[in-house]
Structure 1
Amino acid sequence: MKTISALIKEGSKLLSSHRIESPHLDCEIIMQYVLGVERSFTIMNHTNQVPRNKELLFWKLTKKRAERYPISQIIGNREFWSKNFIVNQHVLDPRPDSETVISTVLKYYQNKKQKIKIADFGTGTGCLLISILSEYEYAIGVGFEKSLEAYKITCQNTKKHNLLNRAKIFPNSWTECRDLFDLIISNPPYIKRSKLKNLQAEVQKEPRIALDGGIDGLSCYLSIFPILKKCLKKDGFAILEIGEDQSNIDKIIPLYGLAFQEYVYDLAGMKRCIVVKQDKEHD
C-alpha cells in the first residue's frame, strides 16, 4: 500500500503530462473524495497508507481527469456561493462568474425580509435560485428546466438545501411561464455556435444544450424577452447573465417593450449581467 502523499505525487505527475492546469490540487481533491475526508486530514496524515480498494478508485478518477473531465463531474459536486451543489454531466458547472447574478440581486433587493416571488429560467443545478432563496427567508421561487436529466439534479439540490417548501421546479421550458414575478433570473446558453469547438476540453464535456446560444449567441435571449414582458411585474427586475457575444444586447431590449437598466461587471471587469425592467411608456 502507498501513502496519501505518494499517490498524490504520482497522480500529479500523470495529470501534468496531460497538461492539466492544477494537477496537485486536483489530485488532492480526488484523494479527499476517495477517502471521504477534509483537506486538513490529507495534509496532517499524509504518511497514512491508502487501502488498496481506495487506491484503485483514486487512479480510476485521476485517469478520468486526465481525459479532461471536469473535477466537479468526477466527484459529483461543486461549491457556489459558499454552498455545495450536486452536479453531473447533464448540468452546467456552477461558475464563480455567475455569482455576479446573486450580488446584483442583493443590490436591488436590500431588504432581506421581503416576500419576493422569483422565477429562474433554465435553472440547471438550481444554484442561482437556491442561493437567492437562502438569502431571503420569506422569498418563494419557481424554476423552469426543460432537460429532464437536469431537472432531476435541480430537484435533488432543492431537497438537499431544504427548500422544497419554498421552491417549485417545473420540467418545462421558460416559454411555459404564466405567472407574475418580482424577480426573474437566468443564465441561459449564450455562446455562439461557431465558438463551441474552440472551448476548453473540460467545457466541451458539459451539456451542449446549456452552452449553445445559436448562430449569433442571442437565440435564448430573444426567446426570454417576450416572456419577461408578460411575466415581470411592473416594478420588477430581470437579471440575466451574459457573455462577450451579448455586449450590445441593450439595443435589442426596447423592441420587446422592455427597458434597459444597466450592465453589471464581474470581478474581471467583463460585462456579466444585464438588468432589465418593464418599459412603462409601452404599457
Structure 2
Amino acid sequence: MKAAEALRAAAERLGPVSDTARLDAEVLMAHAAGLSRGELLLRLRDMEAPEGFAVLVERRAAHEPVSHIVGTRDFWTLTLAVSPHVLTPRPDSETLIEAAVGHYAGSEGPSRILDLGTGSGALLLAALDQWPAATGLGVDISAQALAVARANARRCGLEARAQLRPGNWCDGIVERFDLILANPPYISTRAQLPRDVIDHEPHLALFSGEDGLDACRDIAAGLAGLMAPDGLALIEIGHDQGDSATALFAAHGFAVELRRDLAGRARCLMLRR
C-alpha cells in the first residue's frame, strides 16, 4: 500500500480514540520509517507504507500513548525519552519555561535551578539548555523516574550540569536556588481521566488528594526556605485551580501571579517572597 493511502486509513482508524488522529498517524509512520515527521511529509507521495506501521497504529487504537510507542517526546528545545514511569511532557508545561524566560529577559538568567518532582527531567533540562551557565538539581521520590531523568540528561549532553537525586519535595534540601520549578500531581482523586492517561501514566505523578492540592500544600510549607533572595518559583497547576492554588500559596506569604497557557487556561503560578 502507498504511504499516503495508509496514512489516510490510519487517521480514520484513530479518529475514535484521538483528537489528533492525523498527527498521531504521521508520527507513527515517521517512526516506522526511521524518518523525522518533516522528512516523511516530503517523501510521502513516493513512499510505500513502512513495515510495522500497521502494528503501531493498532497499539495507538488500543489507547497506548504515542510517546510510549515511539519512546520519545519533544519538549521545549529537547527530545526526551519517556516511559510508563514518568509523565509524558506536555506543551502545557512549557508555560513555566516561557514564564521564566520572560522573567529573566535582559539578564544573565538564573545560576542555580531546582526542579521538584523532576520526573523525566523535562523542566530542569529545558531550563539548563536555555541558560548554559546554570547548574541544577532535580529531585524525585521515584527511583524509576530518576533513572529516566538521568538518561535524558546524558541524551541531551547536560549530565555535567544536572544533579539528580531522591527526594520528597522540599525535604532535606538546605541550599537556596534562583529558580525553582515544579510540575506536581494536581488531579483530584475523584477525576475521570482518559484511558491514554489512567492506564499508562504513573498515578503517583497524577493524583493529589480530593482537591488535587495535597502536593502543593507540601511544597508551600517548605518552599520559602529554598528560595534565594529575589528568587522565583514556578508551579504548574490544573486549569481549574487558579483561585484555590493562589489562595494556598498566598496564605504562606508568597506574592502570586497567575500565568495562562496558550489556550487561555490557568496553568502556572509565579511565586516571589
TM-score with structure 2 setting the length: 0.91
Q: Write out aligned runs for 1:253-272 (5 A).
A: 253-256=249-252, 258-272=253-267
Instruction: Structure 2 unaligned segments of length 5 or more: list them.
Output: none
Deviation, 1:115, is 5.1
Q: Indicate the SS of the match to 2:190.
A: helix
Does the 8 Å CA contact 2:180/2:233 hold for their aligned counterparts?
yes
Tell me if 1:48 matches 2:44: no
Counterpart-to-counterpart distance in 2, 1:22 and 1:251: 35
Does the 8 Å CA contact 2:104/2:110 hold for their aligned counterparts?
no
Residues paired across the two proteins, number = 269
Tell me if 1:58 matches 2:53: yes
State the match for 1:10 in structure 2.
9
Does the 8 Å CA contact 2:112/2:178 hold for their aligned counterparts?
yes
Tell me if 1:189 matches 2:188: no
Q: Write out aligned runs for 1:94-133 (5 A).
A: 94-114=89-109, 116-133=111-128
Does the 8 Å CA contact 1:4/1:42 hold for their aligned counterparts?
no
Tell me if 1:245 matches 2:241: yes
Does the 8 Å CA contact 1:113/1:137 hold for their aligned counterparts?
no
Counterpart residue type for residue 204 of structure 2 = I
Does the 8 Å CA contact 1:192/1:245 hold for their aligned counterparts?
no
Counterpart residue type for residue 194 of structure 2 = Q
Q: Are residues 254 and 6 of structure 1, via their aligned partners in 2, closer, same or farther at CA, if it must alter by over 3 Å? A: closer
Counterpart-to-counterpart distance in 1, 2:110 and 2:218: 28
Which structure carries more helix by proportion?
Answer: 1
Q: Write out aligned runs for 1:134-145 (5 A).
A: 134-145=129-140
Alignment RMSD: 1.9
**1:209-255 superposed Cα distances (whole Å, 9 cap, x missing partner):** 11102112110011111221221123212111111135222322244
Q: Indicate the SS of the match to 1:247.
A: helix
Q: 1:170 aligns with which of 165, 190, 202?
A: 165
Deviation, 1:172, is 2.4
Does the 8 Å CA contact 1:90/1:150 hold for their aligned counterparts?
yes
Tell me if 1:217 matches 2:216: no
Instruction: Structure 1 unaligned segments of length 5 or more: list them.
Output: 279-283
Counterpart-to-counterpart distance in 1, 2:9 and 2:83: 26
Deviation, 1:78, is 1.0
Counterpart residue type for residue 150 of structure 1 = A
Q: Are residues 234 and 40 of structure 1, via their aligned partners in 2, closer, same or farther at CA, if it must alter by over 3 Å? A: closer
**1:62-92 superposed Cα distances (whole Å, 9 cap, x missing partner):** 1110011111111111111132111111111
Q: Indicate the SS of the match to 1:193.
A: coil
Q: Indicate the SS of the match to 2:241.
A: helix
Counterpart residue type for residue 201 of structure 1 = R
Q: Look at both structures and tell me which one has the larger radius of gyration over its CA atoms.
A: 1
The answer to which of 88-97 and 241-250 deviates more is 241-250
**1:87-112 superposed Cα distances (whole Å, 9 cap, x missing partner):** 11111111111111011111222245
State the match for 2:21 in structure 1.
23
Q: Indicate the SS of the match to 2:175.
A: coil
The answer to which of 66-75 and 269-278 deviates more is 269-278
Counterpart-to-counterpart distance in 2, 1:4 and 1:61: 14
Counterpart-to-counterpart distance in 1, 2:12 and 2:244: 44
State the match for 2:35 in structure 1.
37
Does the 8 Å CA contact 1:112/1:135 hold for their aligned counterparts?
no
State the match for 2:73 in structure 1.
78
Counterpart-to-counterpart distance in 2, 1:127 and 1:112: 23
Q: Share of identical aligned residues, percent?
A: 32
